[in-house]
Amino acid sequence: MSTQNRPLSPHLEVYRLPLTGLISITHRMTGVALSVGTLLFAYWLIAAASGPESYATINGFLGSWIGKVLLFLWSFAFYFHFCNGIRHLFWDAGKGFDKEVVEKTAKAVLITSVVLTVLTWIIILAGGGS
């Protein structure tokens, strides 16, 4: 008997995820994205340990437009995972399960992570760093 191709519920092709569901899967996706980002983080540290030349090379890449776009996306993924992670910790403590609260904290996570990302980049770019 084939157990590989049975239909699974919810049927993701026809089911529009509610905001809370979207946030839930985004938490996982940002987690995986951040894992990929740790490769760059590790590379940055290894380059720094290898000396000024290799550090200058990786900094040059991070300062280029593609590096900046990657860092921008990475910073949003970080703040999102950070905020929603705190939401998860409250759930682990048994708090915040009411439907209205869950909806409210979902929106709060989205808004807070966008605001923190934008603030961080205003500070970095205004500070004259590249």
Partner 1 sequence: MSLQTPLKRAIGLGSAKEGVHHWKAQRLTAIVMIPLSLWFVCNVASLAGGEYADLVTWIKQPFSAALMLLLLFSMFYHMALGLQVVIEDYVHTTWMKITLLLITQFGSILIGLASIVSVLLIATGD
Residues near partner 1, by CB under 8 A: 4, 28, 31-32, 34-35, 38-39, 41-42, 45-46, 48-49, 52, 55-56, 59, 63, 75, 78, 82, 85-86, 88-89, 92, 120, 123-124, 127, 129-130
Cα(44)–Cα(116) distance, rounded to whole angstroms? 23
| Structure letter (DSSP) for residue 98 | S
How far apart, in Å, are the Cα atoms of 6 and each of 3, 9, 12?
6, 10, 14
> What distance in Å separates the CA atoms of residue 88 and residue 6, rounded to the nearest whole number?
31
Minimum distance, C-beta of residue 100 to partner 1, in the bound complex (Å): 25
Q: How far is the CB of 98 from partner 1 (least distance, A)?
A: 22
- Shortest distance, position 50 Cβ to partner 1, whole Å: 8
